[in-house]
């Protein structure tokens, strides 16, 4: 996409975040931010996603002429951060941990330019119904949970496990659109909605 048609840099390789930005009509380019996602012992989950989203945005903002959007999403169950699964055993254990209970999905969103940074942390409550070990194993074999926080994709096959959500659906997918649109307006980044 030619530079003159781009209003934003997305500091994420997540195809889900890119699709969500396209959904609201944002013109952007994608650049990968090389930021290690390492949880610090004792760090609160909301501080963790805030720190990572800012680090991702700042990693690309130094030489950028456009605002940079960074984001990070985690699943939190009983105060414990559940990130992307390491392997099949880890993915299935996470899914079974989430079964028959509520958990939180937190996304930190940071928008940075040469002069300032604005951030939001958004929380969504998700309740899962029962999940059998056989279902957890079958879900892993679909390939869908491999690169997802908490080992599931609410917008995909894992929707059958979701009893209810309270809060932003797009937050669970990876980018809370209402809050992101507010940040974009603050930086004069247009979306597809005018008026």
How do residues 21-49 score in pLDDT, each as one tens digit? Answer: 999 999 999 999 989 988 898 999 999 99
Torsion of the alpha carbons at 179, 182, 183 and 184, rounded to the nearest 10: 120
Pairing label, strands 117-128, 80-82: unpaired
The rounded distance, in Å, linking the Cα atoms of 117 and 183 is 10
Mean of pLDDT values over 84-98: 95
Cβ neighbours of residue 48 under 8 Å, at least 6 residues apart? 39, 40, 72, 74, 81, 108
> How far does Cα 192 stand from its chain's mean position?
21
Query: Domain 3-186 has what CATH class?
Result: alpha beta
* pLDDT exceeds cutoff 50 at 1: no
Helices (H), the chain: 15-23, 45-61, 88-98, 133-141, 169-173, 177-186
Q: Where are the domains of the chain?
A: 3-186
pLDDT digits (tens, 9 = 90+) for 112-158: 999 999 999 999 999 999 999 999 999 999 999 998 989 999 999 99
* pLDDT exceeds cutoff 70 at 88: yes
The rounded distance, in Å, linking the Cα atoms of 193 and 195 is 7
- Tokens representing 118 are 């604005």
Considering the candidates 34, 47, 72, 78, report the single residue annotated as catalytic. 72
pLDDT score of 142: 96
| Spatial CA neighbour of 95 closest among 147, 51, 140 | 140
* pLDDT exceeds cutoff 90 at 179: yes
pLDDT digits (tens, 9 = 90+) for 47-79: 999 999 999 999 999 889 999 999 999 999 999
pLDDT score of 2: 46
The pTM of this model reads: 0.91
Our answer to whether residue 72 is catalytic in this structure is yes
pLDDT score of 194: 61
The rounded distance, in Å, linking the Cα atoms of 144 and 185 is 33
């Amino acid at each position: 996409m030619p530079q003159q048609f781009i209003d934003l840099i997305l500091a994420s390789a997540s195809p889900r975040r890119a699709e969500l930005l396209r959904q609201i009509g944002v013109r952007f380019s994608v650049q990968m931010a090389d930021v290690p996602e390492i949880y610090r012992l004792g760090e609160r989950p909301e501080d963790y996603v805030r720190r990572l989203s800012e680090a991702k945005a700042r990693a690309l903002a130094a030489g950028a002429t456009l605002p940079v959007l960074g984001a990070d999403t985690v699943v939190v169950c009983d105060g414990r951060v559940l990130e992307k699964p390491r392997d099949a055993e880890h993915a299935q254990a996470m899914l079974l941990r989430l079964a028959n209970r509520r958990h939180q999905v937190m996304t930190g969103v940071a928008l940075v330019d040469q002069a300032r940074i604005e951030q939001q942390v958004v929380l969504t409550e998700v309740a899962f119904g029962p999940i059998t070990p056989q279902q957890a194993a079958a879900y892993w074999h679909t390939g869908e949970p491999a690169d997802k926080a908490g080992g599931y994709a609410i917008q995909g096959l894992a929707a059958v496990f979701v009893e209810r959500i309270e809060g932003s659906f797009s937050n669970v997918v990876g980018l809370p659109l209402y809050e992101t649109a507010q940040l974009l307006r603050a930086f004069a980044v247009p979306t597809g909605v005018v008026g």
